[in-house]
A and B are shown apart, each in its own frame.
Chain A
Amino acid sequence: MIGRYLGRRLLLGVLLLLGVTVVTFILLYLLPADPARMIAGRSATAAAVERVREQLGLNLPLYQQYLHFLGRVLHGDLGRSYMQRVDVSTLVGARIWPTLQLMLASIGFELLLGVTSGIIASLRPRQAVDRIAMVLTFVGVSAPQFVVGIMLLYVFAMYFNWFPMGGYGSPIHIVLPALSLGLLGSGWYSRVTRSEMLDVLSQDYIRTARAKGAGPWRTVMIHALRNAALPVVAMIGMDIGYFMSGVVVVESVFGWPGIGQLMWQAIQSVDAPIIMAITMVSAIAIVMGNLLADIVALFVDPRIKLR
């Protein structure tokens, strides 16, 4: 059963990936910038530019360019960066791990802050704790990530000097970028957790648990939370999409050597092979994230059957 489900989801994932590459390819083609001119240099002659264009195959019709690209990708060749003259797979590969670290750390922050504050708010609905938590999550949800990032930098790195201004290496470097990415998501998690918990806590089986003599901790953490967790799990899956967009900005703000920063540089120089590669990596991450969320949901709620 689950085998068939996985097969179908993977097939859909591949189709999605194809769609994403087509759209990105067309968008890049439509850009007014001319990569051949940028590579050849501003002072290059028209003939030199034309030679570069032919070398890169940029003189061919769009559909042929796309088919060439697709053929190379299927052979495991993501091409060479226009600007850095290095294989794209080397460039991107070296940056996936830092971004993955950042992603795990920020999801950790999101869950820690969001789910905890959501549970606490749901236990005291409409009281002071709940109101404060909901106002804070509203601020968190509304603030753009680069604003949060710059504010965190200003307060905790410049003013208090508790954290480094940026860079990569030790665990302390990851705190501020992960917080700037996670704060927004934690607001959503907090609100979803709160409303789900409020619903679950009024269910009959919660009364049953209390009638059995379960204390508040057992009632909330074992009987209620598991039933409220499903939408949160589904959100983690979707969250990876938001994360991929946020990471471009936040990695640039903090000088985090991940694929977001690479993407930022590539977009500025219209380095098409890198943009294509990172777009594909992001699409794969989103597909995998949702798939993973579905599988985790199986373990959270026994009533769910995948087919």
Chain B
Amino acid sequence: MRLLDVRGLSVAFRSAGRDLSVIEDVSFSISRGEVVGLVGESGCGKSVTAMSILGLLPAGLARVTGGEARFEGADMLTLSARELRALRGLRIGTIFQEPMTSLNPTYTVGYQLTEVLKIHRLAGSRRARAAAAMDMLQQVGVTAPERRMGQYPHELSGGIRQRVMIAMALIAQPSLVVADEPTTALDATIQAQILDLLRNLNDRIDAGILLITHDLGVVAEFCQRVLVMYAGRVVEETTVEALFARPRHPYSRGLLDSTLRLDSPRSPLPTIAGSVPSPGRRGAAGCHFCGRCARAVARCRVDVPPFSDVGPLHRVACWNPVP
């Protein structure tokens, strides 16, 4: 059985009294032990997709308008707040982007780590919780865990903070880990360390990982499958090998072409002209990308391209895919 199965997820933001659709009909699934990348430019809806599944969208501003997200059989979108809370932190761990702002500045590392165990009543005594937290710190490669337990986030470096964040997400041994740009705020050398760490830890707990990133290098390094998102829709879904060898959607192609590589010729880096249209200016008809697409044909402006198979484990939403 699939660990997480998202079907037709749609999300709208409430703005000036009307609903603006930001996520349209997003479907994907993750199995245990699998790492699935969710890539796209800023503002394409990657984080909103993940946060809507977790029930962490800002209340009153955003609303799930359709679809389902089955996690271990239960539809997360219809669970009560209490049932959802019981899953968050326990069955689903979340790693956020900014370790600077994602940890509470007024509580110690030890408090914030053991809190997960306390909320979900995982370890009986205060001492057992502290022992588990120190053990977890050790596993994420934090030296002198005993001393770290009593430290505050501002006393730690960015790399250590992110390790603490990871320890917090994994301490309850969740079956699904949502990592929202886990390495974006870190130095390049630390990035590699953190990814290695995440991979090694996951070998042990065998969770499914949803990795949100705009960095194709991270995807190549870390993921097995990729979903490319554009303006609130999934436009291509395939294996990492296939994406890098032969991307079929013009947007995926553009993303790959605009990545800096060591063997790139000494010419200006190609870019995708324009930017992601904001939710209010996407229009209902046609492909959202057609305005920036060199391969656009007449039909692209009229009909939404269906998601169709172009090969084994390879699906694309495009009327005129890259050959």
**Interface, chain A (partner B; CB < 8 A):** 202-205, 207-215, 218, 223, 226-227, 300-303
A interface footprint on B99-111 (CB within 8 Å = 1, 0 otherwise): 0011111111000
A interface footprint on B51-94 (CB within 8 Å = 1, 0 otherwise): 00010101000000000000000000000001001111110001
Could you write out 11 A-B pairs with CB less than 8 Å apart? A203-B101, A204-B101, A208-B103, A211-B56, A211-B94, A211-B96, A214-B89, A223-B107, A301-B105, A302-B108, A303-B105
Alpha-carbon distance between A209 and B106 when the two chains are bound, in angstroms? 13
Query: Is the CB–CB distance between B101 and A212 below 8 Å?
Result: no
- Which 9 pairs of residues, A with B, have the shortest CB-CB distance? A213-B89, A212-B89, A211-B94, A204-B101, A205-B104, A213-B88, A204-B102, A302-B152, A226-B106
Which residues of chain B are near A203, meaning CB under 8 Å? Answer: 101
Q: How far is the CB of B186 from chain A (nearest CB, A)?
A: 16
Query: Is the CB–CB distance between A303 and B54 below 8 Å?
Result: no
Among the listed stretches B115-123, B187-195, B209-217, B227-235, which one makes contact with chain A, having 4 or more residues with CB under 8 Å of it? Answer: B115-123
Query: Is the CB–CB distance between A212 and B168 below 8 Å?
Result: yes
Q: In the complex, what residue of chain B is closest to A123 when comparing beta carbons? A: B59
Which residues of chain B are near A223, meaning CB under 8 Å? Answer: 104, 107
Partner of B106, one of A207, A208, A300: A300
Which residues of chain B are near A202, meaning CB under 8 Å? Answer: 58
Q: Does B246 lie at the interface of the complex (its beta carbon under 8 Å from any beta carbon of A)? A: no
Alpha-carbon distance between A212 and B92 when the two chains are bound, in angstroms? 9
Q: Does B206 lie at the interface of the complex (its beta carbon under 8 Å from any beta carbon of A)? A: no
Q: In the complex, what residue of chain B is closest to A223 when comparing beta carbons? A: B104
Query: Is the CB–CB distance between A212 and B152 below 8 Å?
Result: no
Which residues of chain A are near B101, meaning CB under 8 Å? Answer: 203-205
Alpha-carbon distance between A250 and B165 when the two chains are bound, in angstroms? 53
> Told that A210-B56, A210-B88, A218-B119 touch, could you supply 15 new A-B pairs with CB distance under 8 A?
A204-B101, A204-B102, A205-B103, A208-B165, A211-B94, A212-B119, A213-B86, A213-B87, A214-B115, A215-B82, A215-B119, A300-B106, A302-B106, A302-B152, A302-B154
Q: How far is the CB of B212 from chain A (nearest CB, A)?
A: 14
Q: In the complex, what residue of chain B is closest to A225 when comparing beta carbons? A: B106
**Interface, chain B (partner A; CB < 8 A):** 54, 56, 58, 82, 85-90, 94, 96, 98, 101-108, 115-116, 119-120, 152, 154, 165, 168
Q: How far is the CB of A76 from chain B (nearest CB, A)?
A: 43
Query: Is the CB–CB distance between A208 and B88 below 8 Å?
Result: no
Which residues of chain A are near B89, meaning CB under 8 Å? Answer: 211-214
Alpha-carbon distance between A171 and B98 when the two chains are bound, in angstroms? 51
Alpha-carbon distance between A302 and B58 when the two chains are bound, in angstroms? 28
Partner of B115, one of A210, A212, A226, A301: A212
Query: Is the CB–CB distance between B90 and A213 below 8 Å?
Result: yes
Known: A203-B101, A204-B96, A303-B154. A211 touches B54 (CB 8 A): yes
Query: Is the CB–CB distance between B152 and A303 below 8 Å?
Result: yes
Q: How far is the CB of A250 from chain B (nearest CB, A)?
A: 36
Query: Is the CB–CB distance between A212 and B88 below 8 Å?
Result: yes
Alpha-carbon distance between A147 and B39 when the two chains are bound, in angstroms? 63
Alpha-carbon distance between A223 and B168 when the two chains are bound, in angstroms? 16
Alpha-carbon distance between A128 and B152 when the two chains are bound, in angstroms? 38
Q: In the complex, what residue of chain A is closest to B85 when comparing beta carbons? A: A213
Q: In the complex, what residue of chain A is closest to B57 when comparing beta carbons? A: A207
Query: Is the CB–CB distance between B96 and A227 below 8 Å?
Result: no
Q: In the complex, what residue of chain B is closest to A212 when comparing beta carbons? A: B89
Q: In the complex, what residue of chain A is closest to B105 when comparing beta carbons? A: A303
Q: In the complex, what residue of chain A is closest to B116 when comparing beta carbons? A: A212
Which residues of chain A are near B108, meaning CB under 8 Å? Answer: 302
Query: Is the CB–CB distance between B88 and A207 below 8 Å?
Result: no
Q: How far is the CB of B167 from chain A (nearest CB, A)?
A: 12
Which residues of chain B are near A204, meaning CB under 8 Å? Answer: 96, 98, 101-102
Alpha-carbon distance between A210 and B86 when the two chains are bound, in angstroms? 11
Q: In the complex, what residue of chain A is closest to B88 when comparing beta carbons? A: A213
Q: How far is the CB of B233 from chain A (nearest CB, A)?
A: 25
Alpha-carbon distance between A213 and B120 when the two chains are bound, in angstroms? 8
Partner of B104, one of A213, A215, A227, A300: A227
Listed residue (B54, B85, B101) with the most chain A CB atoms within 10 angstroms of its CB: B85
Q: In the complex, what residue of chain A is closest to B115 when comparing beta carbons? A: A212
Query: Is the CB–CB distance between A213 and B119 below 8 Å?
Result: yes
Alpha-carbon distance between A2 and B304 when the two chains are bound, in angstroms? 67
Q: How far is the CB of B116 from chain A (nearest CB, A)?
A: 5
Alpha-carbon distance between A88 and B125 when the two chains are bound, in angstroms? 58
Which residues of chain A are near B115, meaning CB under 8 Å? Answer: 212, 214
Which residues of chain B are near A208, meaning CB under 8 Å? Answer: 94, 96, 102-104, 165, 168
Alpha-carbon distance between A208 and B166 when the two chains are bound, in angstroms? 12
Alpha-carbon distance between A207 and B54 when the two chains are bound, in angstroms? 11
Q: How far is the CB of B185 from chain A (nearest CB, A)?
A: 11
Alpha-carbon distance between A213 and B88 when the two chains are bound, in angstroms? 5
Q: How far is the CB of A121 from chain B (nearest CB, A)?
A: 15
Which residues of chain B are near A226, meaning CB under 8 Å? Answer: 106-107
Alpha-carbon distance between A149 and B93 when the two chains are bound, in angstroms? 55
Q: How far is the CB of A259 from chain B (nearest CB, A)?
A: 37
Q: In the complex, what residue of chain A is closest to B178 when comparing beta carbons? A: A211
Q: How far is the CB of A81 from chain B (nearest CB, A)?
A: 49
Listed residue (B89, B102, B106, B119) with the most chain A CB atoms within 10 angstroms of its CB: B106
Query: Is the CB–CB distance between B102 and A213 below 8 Å?
Result: no
Which residues of chain A are near B107, meaning CB under 8 Å? Answer: 223, 226
